[in-house]
Amino acid sequence: MFADLHLHTFFSDGTFTPEELVARASQLGFSAIALTDHDTLEGCDRAAAACVAARIEFIAGTELTAEHADIEVHILAYLVDTQNQVLLQRIAGFQAVRQRRIREMVGALNKLGLPLKAEAVFALANCQSPGRPHVARALVKEKLIGSLDEAFDKYLKKGRPAWVPKTKMSAMEAVELIHQAGGLAVMAHPGLNRSDEIIPDLVAAGLDGIECFHTKHSTTMAERYLEFAEKYHLLVTGGSDCHGFSKQKPLIGTVKLPYEHVQKLKDKVAERKR
């Protein structure tokens, strides 16, 4: 039995519907999956329903963008109460910030002579949590640019002329927010951050787990983070970070986390409730 605990749908920057994602998970033989769309819980109900039909265990989650010591860090939330009002309100705030950022990026593109409308981006995104990939896709769709890569390389990548910095909450705040919603806070893809020195601070803030297995982690990286997990008594998670057909072929299936780790997540939540 194995799981994928890091998946995106079109409720953030992925391309699959929740149903398409679950169908793929079912074909690949997954016993459990978690939905971790950026700054939203919007797709959880549909994914949960599809999982019931496919007899796959569903774990509600989200991936929050945070920062610590000026380093962007993604915090995965698992097993949260999806009706928690404080969490829902904060998420609505993050979504408003995302929408404002889209308008700023579109404004910068307009100044550069690309007549894109923010409404075209929102219509294409069709979700509460739009991001840069939606701007890139809209540019391609409107034939203002040749490819997604070109959109990022020329305009949207950090430091390029239409890039707009993100306003982020602190990682400490993210951990606290997840805990008050009854969930577990896990550091996503630490290998992509290359800033392991912040891990002890996150642990001190109450971090519950670390994503050791990830599509972009080498075997050496996975081993390194398994050592961190042992040293700091953190739970171990893993997932493909599949975004559907975004930039490459779907990644679901590249990471198969042994189910025992899912059980440990559930045990920890149950233990906290006692």
Bridge partners of residue 33, in order along the sequence? 4, 58
Q: Could you tell me the smallest distance in angstroms from the CB atom of residue 74 to Zn ion?
A: 4
Question: Which 3 state secondary structure label does DSSP give 155?
Answer: helix
Cα–Cα distance measured from residue 228 to residue 213, given in angstroms and rounded to the nearest whole number: 13
Stretch that binds Zn ion, among 19-27, 50-58, 61-69, 146-154 (CB under 5 A): 61-69
Compare residues 73 and 109 and give the one whose CB is closer to Zn ion.
Answer: 73
From the list 46-54, 73-81, 118-126, 254-262, the region that binds Zn ion by CB under 5 A is: 73-81
The residue among 36 and 84 lying less far from Zn ion, judged by its C-beta, is: 36
Residue 4 touches Zn ion, criterion: CB under 5 A: no
**Which member of 241, 244, 255, 257 binds Zn ion (CB under 5 A)?**
241
Contact yes or no for 155/112 (Cβ under 8 A): yes
Q: Which is nearer to Zn ion, 208 or 241 (CB)?
A: 241
Q: Which residues from 148-207 bind Zn ion, rule CB under 5 A?
A: 188
Q: Which helix (H) or strand (E) holds 257?
A: strand 257-258
- DSSP per-residue codes, 58-98: EEEEEEEEEEETTEEEEEEEES--TT-HHHHHHHHHHHHHH
Residues lying near Zn ion in the complex (CB under 5 A) are found at 63, 74, 188, 241
